[in-house]
Homo-oligomer: A and B are copies of this chain.
Amino acid sequence: MPDTLPKRTTILDIARAAGVSKTTVSRFLNGKYEYMSSQTRERIQTVISLSNYRPSNIARSLKNQRSMLVGVAIADIQNPFSASLIRGIGDILMPQDYVPVFMNSENALSREQELIESLVARGVDGLIVNTVSCQNPFIIETACKGVPVVLCDRQVADYTFDIAYAECKAILSTVVRHLYEQGFWPITLFTQPYETISPRKLRVEGFTQTMRAIGCKDPQAYIYLIDDLQENTAIEQTKRLMQQKVPGKTPAVIAGNSVMLIQVLLAVRRMGLCMPQDIGVCGPDDWDWGEHMNWSEIIQPGITTFTVPAYEVGAATARVLLKRLKNPQEPKQSVVIPSSLQIRASTLLQNP
Contacts and interface: CB of A to CB of B under 8 A. Distances in A.
Interface residues of A, number: 64
Query: What is the total number of copies of this protein in its complex?
Result: 2
A99 to B, nearest CB: 7
A297 B123 contact: no
A298 B297 contact: no
A219 interface: no
A352 interface: no
A78 B82 contact: no
Interface in A290-333: 290, 292-295, 297-300, 328-329
Contact of A229 (B58, B147, B292): B292
A14 to B, nearest CB: 15
Nearest to A302: B269
Contact of A298 (B67, B262, B290, B293): B262
Interface of A: 2-6, 8, 52, 54-59, 61-62, 65, 67, 77-80, 82-84, 86-87, 90, 94, 99, 101-104, 118, 120-123, 145-147, 229-232, 259, 262-263, 265-266, 269, 288-290, 292-295, 297-300, 328-329
Nearest to A101: B101
A58 B99 CA distance: 15
Nearest to A121: B54
Contacts of A52: 145
